[in-house]
Chains A and B, each alone.
Chain A
Amino acid sequence: MSAVLFFIAAIGVIAGAVGVVVMRNPFFSVLALVCHLIFLAVLFLLLRAEFVAAVQVVVYAGAVMVLYVFVVAYVGGEGESIGERLHGVGNRSRPPGGGSALRVGGAAVGGALLVELMIALLGTGLEATGGDGAPYSPGPRTYGTPAFIGKLLLTRFLLAFELASFLLLIAAVGGVVLARRRGGLEEDDDRAALTPLDLLRPRGTGTTAEGVGRMTLGAGDGGGGGGGGVASGYRS
């Protein structure tokens, strides 16, 4: 019974993963990942990790992926055809060696990684992983229950717990900072908008406005250089 469930879940997991990598439309990739996450939760359950499975579904699939969906809907992103993916696009800049080289190379490296991991797992004759794991007996506070996890979190892993929450705070603040609008500049404004402050500021100091090329004070080095910075960069 558990074997059957395992195979269904495993196939689902792998199919979801393949879907994420292969799908053209980023939205479908997100959906594939959600699917993958849910099947992964099933696998977790099979491994008696009840709490983690629940967290996986509620937090990961429920919150993080929802965020993803929002952003994909907002940003969109372009789909790539298979042909594009293999051979790169004509007038779009591509990495030296052609897009295909990198794709083939990437596939090779990934394949190498997989082979190596398989060898590591199966070829080395590990014995401990051959069994079903430690003995398990159900109960209110056994392995995998929330109580079990909670106790661990608050005793042995207290520091990790606290640090993780700290990290979350930082991430939240960072996310807000990153995504906010800079004061004074409308995002649809394309004309050169100069404030007296901009005139006082030395040229070429690298504000994002300069970087994007919207701020040009004549054909000066700083503005021009800054403006050209995006596309031409530090080409030698």
Chain B
Amino acid sequence: MSTTTWGWLVLAFPLAGMLVTALGYRRLGAGESRAAGWIGTLAIFLAFVCAVGALISLQGHAASHRELVSSLWSYAYTSGIDARMSILVDPLSVYMILVVSGVSTLIHLYSISYMERDRGFVRYFSYLNFFVFSMLLLVLAGNFLLLIVGWAFVGAASYLLISFWYRRTTATTAGIKAFVINVVGDAGLVLGTYFIFKHTGTLDLLRSFHAAEHGAFGHATNNGDLVAGCVLLLVGAFAKSAQIPLHTWLPDAMEGPTPVSSLIHAATMVTAGVYLIARMHPLFERAPAAQDVGAVVGALTLFVAGTIGLAQTDIKRVIAYSTMSQIGYMIMGVSVGAYAAGLFHLMTHAFFKALLFMAAGSLIGAMAGEQSLERMGGFRRALPFTYACFIVGGLALSGIPPFSGFFSKDDILLETAERGGWHWALYGIGYAGALLTAIYTFRMIFRAFHGEPVSEARELEGGHLAHAEVPRNPATGEQEDTDVGFPGPAHAIAERAWPMRIAMGLLALGAVGAGLVQIPKADFVIDDFLKPSFATAGRYEPAGKTSVLVIGLTLGTLIGLAGIALAYRLWVRGGRDAEGRYPAAQAIWRRVGPLYELCLNKWYFDELIGALVVRPAAALGGFARDTFERVFVDETLIGGATGIVRAGSAAVRAAQSGFVRYYAALLVLGVTGVGLYFLLQA
């Protein structure tokens, strides 16, 4: 079977899964059957198998012939645009579909237990399959059209899944917020496509790149249109990948079920921006200004998100800011041209971040739906497996060797330093971010698992899973029920659900071992694999000087360990007081006073965007509704038009007065008129 056929099958299986679960909603949802979950998981697993098949088949081609395009049909062929339904199977897309389908399979498996007895079980898997289909479409797209389609679908799936528990107001608000910001990104993407299309004249990706490489944008770099197009593409990437300033939707997106956060907002959708920049590298290489923008924004985000993560108390939001920070690394990586490093970090991050979210889901289940760190403590003995997963994920995230995160993160930082000049500043920020990462990650772990066990932990140690009598919204404390539109009554923990254990276990293995494929100076599996996709990239070769390498790696390790040690000191050794606060940490926070407020309030970005964008937009909408619509359209245009018609018809109606004398007068007048006419004629 040809490589591209494998590619089409990769798309077909999740689509089929979505259709089967969606159309068979009634049959599959009967009773408490979990058939829909298994169908969904099977669909994605088959997609993964086909992705592996595509990989094997692709490697069978010669290295220079590994960019394969296949079209099903021509969608529109008009005015110079030939928009076809075509996919591009090359090492980059195969890499992405492997990561996406692999992690998705495990998350589907996890969800079967996590979403048990939720009234929306079937709907959940339908949405999730739709999401995976969209993401695969995005990465397999062979032209800008399908890329944009996949992009938009992914945004829609994200909205559907964030507001999955749709009777929760916080969830629906969060879903809308995510969607609106995503649409801003969509607009950027489409406009960017236009700017590029203007010069290359084609929507096809490969042909576009070929045109760019052969002078469609002139022979100097930083052509105005190209820079504009690339910056707009970056806007799209930033919205999707939650970079500053379009990042405010990601923490709110934690309103969705934990597996959704794990899949969409850690491993796959938010990495779409990274993929976009990597895919568009021929264009970005010719617009270094855009690359610089990307690098700076990535660095900025990784630092700011790290600081915010230090102050958050909702466990899912801590992990969300961690995601934002790590994606900042990836964006920085691909923006400076370290494509392999950035994508490598994408893969390892997918593993350990999904693992962390899954473990968090297990912990939240043990807490009967409570998500605040302030109420958690001492779960070490009650949840050993979850604890182990947290540790593995945390170490990988903090960049401790030999875990995977170490290799990938340091790879990016080294490549950044390689670029020289002002990139050393980014290098420094990167390490500062690494320190923050270690601190907040282990702050979370130590607070939740060390110290005195809380009541839920004690109950669990006694063998009884805690249960909330009255289901409540974890964010606002509002009372809910467990019917459709709200979470179900069951809470699942990894220690008791084998699907969760299998999923988390496999991911933990990945988090531990994935680094081995790209040990600097030792093996270059990722580099070599992805090389054909980046054949025309400048500076693709891995980092140079060994001395810099060794210093960098050592520095990274030390910083990670220092962070863990600091966290240990503050949140384990510092002890916890009667009200559940940590005095040692409190002392430090008090010393930096306003900085703490800044971090706690997420650097006031929400308020800033609210004042700059939301309020003017709402005012404009209010003006449009009250003044423009009411006065101008309703009263003047419509009222005027109808008024004129009414006046006209009233005038005409007056002629039908029924008075015979009027008619007679009209007659005589007419005769006079006709006579006048003839008189004048003669």
> Chain A: residues with CB nearer than 8 A to chain B?
95-96, 102, 105-106, 109-110, 112-113, 116-117, 119-120, 124, 233, 236
Contact = CB atoms under 8 A, between A and B. Distances in A.
Contacts, number: 35
A95 B668 CA distance: 18
Given A102-B665, A106-B665, A120-B679, A95 B657 contact: yes
The 7 nearest A-B residue pairs measured at CB:
A95-B659, A113-B672, A116-B675, A109-B669, A109-B668, A112-B672, A120-B679
A113 B665 contact: no
A105 B679 contact: no
Contacts of A112: 672
Contact of B672 (A102, A116, A124): A116
A119 B659 contact: no
A105 B672 contact: no
Contacts of A110: 668
A117 B675 contact: yes
A228 to B, nearest CB: 15
A236 B665 contact: no
A112 B669 CA distance: 9
B679 A109 contact: no
A106 B672 CA distance: 13
A102 B662 contact: yes
Contacts of A109: 665, 668-669, 672
A233 B658 contact: yes
Interface string B402-417: 0000000000000000
A116 B679 contact: yes
Contacts of A117: 675
Nearest to B678: A120
25 contacts: A95-B657, A95-B659, A95-B661, A96-B657, A102-B659, A102-B661, A102-B662, A102-B665, A105-B665, A106-B665, A109-B665, A109-B668, A113-B668, A113-B671, A113-B672, A113-B675, A116-B672, A116-B675, A116-B676, A116-B679, A117-B675, A119-B679, A120-B675, A120-B679, A124-B679
Contacts of B676: 116
B662 to A, nearest CB: 7
Contacts of B668: 109-110, 113
Nearest to A106: B665
Interface in B632-682: 653-654, 657-659, 661-662, 665, 668-669, 671-672, 675-676, 679, 682
B314 to A, nearest CB: 66
Contacts of A120: 675, 679
A120 B671 CA distance: 13
A198 to B, nearest CB: 28
Interface in B79-137: none
Contacts of B665: 102, 105-106, 109
Given A112-B672, A116-B679, A117-B675, A106 B657 contact: no
Contacts of B657: 95-96
A24 B37 CA distance: 101
B193 to A, nearest CB: 57
Contacts of A106: 661, 665
B504 to A, nearest CB: 77
A123 to B, nearest CB: 9
B653 A236 contact: yes
A170 B206 CA distance: 92
A110 B653 CA distance: 25
Contacts of A119: 679
Nearest to B666: A109
A113 B659 CA distance: 21
Nearest to B656: A234
Given A96-B657, A105-B665, A116-B675, 12 more contacts: A96-B654, A102-B659, A102-B661, A106-B661, A106-B665, A109-B668, A109-B672, A112-B672, A113-B671, A113-B672, A116-B679, A124-B682
Contacts of B658: 233
Nearest to B667: A109
Nearest to B653: A236
Nearest to B662: A95
A233 B659 CA distance: 13
Contacts of B671: 113
